[in-house]
Amino acid sequence: MAMSRNRRTTSLRDSDSRLGESDRIEGAGSWDAIEWTTIDQPVSRPVPHGLSDFLYEAEEVIAEGYGVLVNTDEAGTLFVTNFRLLFLSEGSRDIIALGTIPLATIEKFNKIVIRQPSGPRQIDKTPTRRLLQVIGKDMRIIIFAFRPRTKQRRAVFEALLRCAKPTRLWDLYAFSSGPSRFSNTSPRVRLVNEYIRLLGIESRNSSGSLIEDGSFTLCNNWWRISDVNATYDMCATYPFSLLLPKSIRDEDVLQACKFRARCRLPAISWCDARTGAVLARSSQPLVGLMMNMRSNADENLVGALCTQLLDGERGRRKLYIADARPRKNALANGAMGGGSESSANYFQCEIVFFGIDNIHAMRESLVRLRDYLDTHGTKSSDGMSSFLRHGGWTWGGGNLSSMSASVSTLGDSGWLSHIQNVLAGSAWIAARVAIESASVLVHCSDGWDRTTQLVALASLLLDPYYRTIKGFQALVEKDWLAFGHPFSDRAGMPSLSGSDAELPRQSSSSNFPSSPMRQTPGSYPSQSPMPPQTHFK
């Protein structure tokens, strides 16, 4: 067996060669360059002796190669399974965590050749080292080295091509262990049950039959479960059932959706059945360049979030509209038909801008953060300790100026500022609901990135149920899955295909329908989608 071979491996640190763009003389196997690969029948190999103890249920070995984890200069065997890259140390006979990464967490992988300095008797020959670089979405940059002319690197690389990016959703390891053991396997039933919990109707519970015959449209004094989007005709990226104000009819909901980008109208994500305060979400309103477009139906729907306070003499509760974007970005979206609400047009509301940057700024910041970690982390992508490269200083002491420079570089990435803005915004939203008993409507541009982050985190703060395993599952299913977060685009995951319905891929740029002018209810003009445009998200 490969991992039991008694071999001494020459350290790759002896070479002064560094990984650079000029060293990459072979094609890259990255998410950007590789097409999705159809897996008819994964080719599995017999499990090597002693490895079965480390494998999960239904995890199968596809390929293996003996080599060195350059980051730690440790020899061992690299296995490709239908779930992960797994590096087993030759010395400790144990899994090395740094060199083990789930396939779904791999962002890119490249074959690299490094040319080493020639010896005095190797004038015509330039020795090379053949490496495999794996870049993870978790910031890891892992380097594996293989013996030349053994074709083991090729076997591992080709296995990654086949298995790391399958065409069908069902080819992912998550679906390889067969049907779920849980009795409630219907996401629709689970969603409706979560709505019933929020409404405070303890005596009722949903089932598949109730979903089929439409008997799930329950209500309390303030809110109701609506089936207005049961066929997804109103909004393809919203759930089949929505939690809406009881006072708003489905006919008015159909009118209101036309005034929001991608028809993602204001819908309730969380509500307090004791006080009547709600946390709602939507996309941006289609107010246009002059910010003068209005919709009676949208204003009535948003106003219905302001229910009466428990003390009737105090009137209706306040509404905050939390726009996740910087104010300038919201105004710039007006040129493409979008924009933000005016407090003069919505009942008893206050508009707040959180200043969270768009997805393009986040990606740039993530690149800078990755560079920072590769420079100042404990182990970098070339296998050398960054502490040694920078004069031997450590976090616990040593050169203070070097430490200050490191912290400054981290600050320049902007990543911590982005995280701070999201966390501060979520805490602010939760405080308005919990302390003031106010309602909050959250949106960004499309309402599926920043909006989802803010609403989900605020819900975690507001409701201890979401801090349980079952509750956290309900939160992810409701606010991330049901409300159409574009996982396929954001995380590089496949869509449903084959005998199942093909889900459309959503672009990160909005496609705004034209905005309805202010008219009497029931007389809104028909709308047709505009061509896709570039805008500030």
Per-residue pLDDT tens over the stretch 107-116: 899 998 887 6
Distance of alpha carbon 403 from alpha carbon 422, whole angstroms = 27
Residue 165 near residue 33 (C-beta atoms within 8 A): no
Q: Which helix (H) or strand (E) holds 353?
A: strand 349-353
Q: Which of 321, 276, 312, 329 is nearest to 454 (CA)?
A: 321
Q: Which tokens is 341 given?
A: 């609400």
Of residues 34 and 69, more confidence is placed in 69
Helix runs in 384-499, H state only: 386-389, 400-413, 415-436, 450-462, 469-475, 487-491
Q: What is the pLDDT of residues 311-349, one digit of tens each?
A: 665 788 999 999 999 999 999 999 999 999 999 999 899
Quote the pLDDT of residue 532. 35
**Opening angle at CA 113, ends 109 and 116, nearest 5:** 145
From residue 288, how far is each of 28, 272, 323, 395, 515 by CA, in Å?
44, 34, 16, 52, 7
Q: Which tokens is 526 given?
A: 């028909």
Q: Which of 501, 502, 473, 506 is nearest to 488 (CA)?
A: 506
Q: What is the pLDDT of residues 88-113, one digit of tens each?
A: 999 999 999 989 999 989 989 999 88
pLDDT band at 396 (very low <50, low <70, confident <90, very high): very low
Distance of alpha carbon 387 from alpha carbon 335, whole angstroms = 50
Report the pLDDT averaged over residues 351-371: 92
Quote the pLDDT of residue 157. 96
Q: What is the CA radius of gyration of the chain?
A: 27
pLDDT band at 380 (very low <50, low <70, confident <90, very high): low
Distance of alpha carbon 72 from alpha carbon 89, whole angstroms = 11
Res. 263: pLDDT tops 60? yes
In the chain, pLDDT over 70 holds for what percent of residues?
Answer: 73
User: How much is the mean pLDDT over the chain?
Assistant: 79
Of residues 385 and 442, more confidence is placed in 442
Res. 429: pLDDT tops 80? yes
For the stretch 412-436, what's the b/e string if a residue is b when 16 or more beta carbons lie within 10 angstroms of its beta carbon?
A: ebbbeebeebbeebbebbbebbeee
Res. 517: pLDDT tops 70? no
Comparing 206-210, 252-256, 310-314, 326-330, the range with the smallest average pLDDT is 310-314
Strands (E) located in 221-261: 223-226, 242-245
pLDDT band at 371 (very low <50, low <70, confident <90, very high): confident
Residue 535 near residue 509 (C-beta atoms within 8 A): yes
Rounding to the nearest 10 degrees, give the CA dihedral for residues 476, 481, 485, 489.
110
pLDDT band at 29 (very low <50, low <70, confident <90, very high): very low
Top-confidence range, 169-183, 272-286, 298-312, 386-400: 272-286
Quote the pLDDT of residue 126. 57
Contacts 24+ apart (CB under 8 A), 395-404: none
Top-confidence range, 57-71, 447-461, 478-492: 447-461
Which amino acid would we find at residue 27? G
Report, in this order, helix, strand and coil percent for the chain, each rounded to 5.
Answer: 35, 20, 50
Res. 469: pLDDT tops 80? yes
Quote the pLDDT of residue 313. 59
Quote the pLDDT of residue 149. 82
Quote the pLDDT of residue 115. 75
Quote the pLDDT of residue 15. 37
Helix runs in 274-319, H state only: 296-303
Of residues 403 and 521, more confidence is placed in 403
Report the pLDDT averaged over residues 444-466: 97
Q: Which tokens is 37 given?
A: 């690969």
Quote the pLDDT of residue 308. 87
Strands (E) located in 100-215: 101-102, 106-115, 128-136, 141-146
Comparing 294-298, 484-488, 503-507, the range with the smallest average pLDDT is 503-507
CB-CB neighbours of 272 under 10 Å: 18
Catalogue the active-site residues: 444
Quote the pLDDT of residue 191. 94
Report the pLDDT averaged over residues 117-142: 75
Quote the pLDDT of residue 169. 79
Residue 186 near residue 208 (C-beta atoms within 8 A): yes
Residue 195 near residue 210 (C-beta atoms within 8 A): no
Distance of alpha carbon 448 from alpha carbon 396, whole angstroms = 41
